[in-house]
Every structure is written in structure tokens, then in C-alpha cells.
Amino acid sequence: MIWSVTKATPGAEAGRDGGSVDPSEFHTLYREHFAFVWRCLGALGVPAGNLDDAAQEVFVVVHRRLLEFRGESALRTWLYGIVRNVAANARRTQRRRGVHDELRDSEPCMQPDPSASFEAREAASFVQRFIAELDADKRDLFVLALLEQLTIPELAPLLGIPLNTAYSRLRALRQEFRLALERYEAP
């Protein structure tokens, strides 16, 4: 269990009790969740050229706040909370800058991995465009429930909604997605 060492003791705040993140535990967390973080950042519209920096920022925050995590939510939803903030900052910076930077910002919002099949790239691109059109609540639900396949009980605390509301929103979201897909596939 990854939290056996890093979980904060009751009543103690991170750092104040002299506790620190065990580097090997942090490394384990990095290896296990890097792909999740990377995918979510990409899905949330962080441009490919900024993914490195955004992923790095996520794990810097994770390192800083790891001792605060008390296991009250699923680890991946806790991570997603950080990812969501970092992605929002990255998008804001991108909009504010608005200047074409030849070295960093010229890539489309797409993974450049040539080993990914054309179908995978196309599917990723479609999903990214669909997510970009959603409002914030639906976006989180889509990424976690449909793309990352988290269960509703896992993600409902992050969204701050009752389970039944989450289920009904998910049904509506899937319907919306199917319609978008049909429009996309229509000749």
C-alpha cells in the first residue's frame, strides 16, 4: 500500500511534525500514475508542447501536498483535482499569451507519439474536441467516468454531487457523446 508510509498522522500537518515524503514512495506513485496524469492533461486541452511542463507541475504539487492526503477520497480523484487546476492554468496561460511561439506552442492539441495508430490518434483528437465543448462539471465526469473508467462512487465526492445525480448526468452525457459521434461519422 503506497500510503502506509506517506499518510499523515492525525492532527499533524504536512511538514510540521518533521514528516517528509519518502522518495521511493513518491517514485512509486509517479510510475503508477504518470500515464493517468498525462492522459488527463491531454484530454483537458493542455497542448502537446506544454504537456511536459504541466505534468511536471502536477507532480511538484503532489510532492508538496502528499502528506495532506488522508485517503478520504480515491487517490486518482485526488490527483485529478490537481491535474484539473494545472490544466486550467495552462489553458489560461495559453490564451493570455496568444502569441505564436515557434519552439513551444505550435503543436496541435494532439499526442505526437508516432507509435500510436492513426485510429488512436483520431479517436483521441475527437474526444479532445468533444471535451473542449463541455462545461467544467461535464468535462470532469466525462474524463473520469468514460475515458478513465472510474466508478461513479469513486468520482462523486470530487464532483460534490449525490450518486444518483452523477448517474443521471452520466447517462445524459453518453447520449450527447453518441450524437456528436454520429454527426462526426456522417458523410
Partner 1 sequence: MTIIDDIAEQRLFARARDGLSPSELDEARVLAKLEQHFAEHALSQHEQPSPEQSGSPAVDHGGASLGKLARVSRVLVTRPIASVACTVVLGVLGVMAPTLVARVWRNDTQSEQRKPAVVPLAGAPAKLADAAGSGEVAGGAVLVAEQEPAEAVHSAAEESQPPAATEHKRRRASPRCPEGDGCPALPAARIIAPSPEPAPPPAAVTSLRAELEVLKEAERAVRERQPARALELLASFERESRDGAGRMQQERAATKAIARCALGESRHTVYAEFVRAYPRSAYAERVRHSCIPGL
Q: How far is the CB of 141 from partner 1 (least distance, A)?
A: 14
> Does residue 11 interact with partner 1 by CB under 8 A?
no
Question: Of 102-121, which residues contact partner 1 (CB under 8 A)?
Answer: 102-104, 106-107, 110-117, 119-121
Stretch of 73-81, 85-93, 125-133, 155-163 lying at the interface with partner 1 (CB under 8 A): 125-133
Calpha distance 78→89 (Å, rounded): 17
Q: How far is the CB of 27 from partner 1 (least distance, A)?
A: 5
Let me know: does 86 contact 57? Beta carbons within 8 Å: yes
Say how many CA atoms lie within 13 Å of 105 toward its Cβ. Answer: 12
Contacts for 114 with CB less than 8 Å, ≥ 6 apart: none
Calpha distance 67→116 (Å, rounded): 36
> Does residue 100 interact with partner 1 by CB under 8 A?
no
Let me know: does 152 contact 166? Beta carbons within 8 Å: yes
By C-alpha distance, which of 93, 86, 75 is closest to 28?
75
Q: How far is the CB of 130 from partner 1 (least distance, A)?
A: 10
Q: Which residues bind partner 1 (CB under 8 A)?
A: 5, 14-16, 18-24, 26-27, 30-31, 34-35, 38-39, 42-43, 48-49, 51-53, 55-56, 59-60, 63-64, 101-104, 106-107, 110-117, 119-128, 146-149, 174-175, 177-178, 181
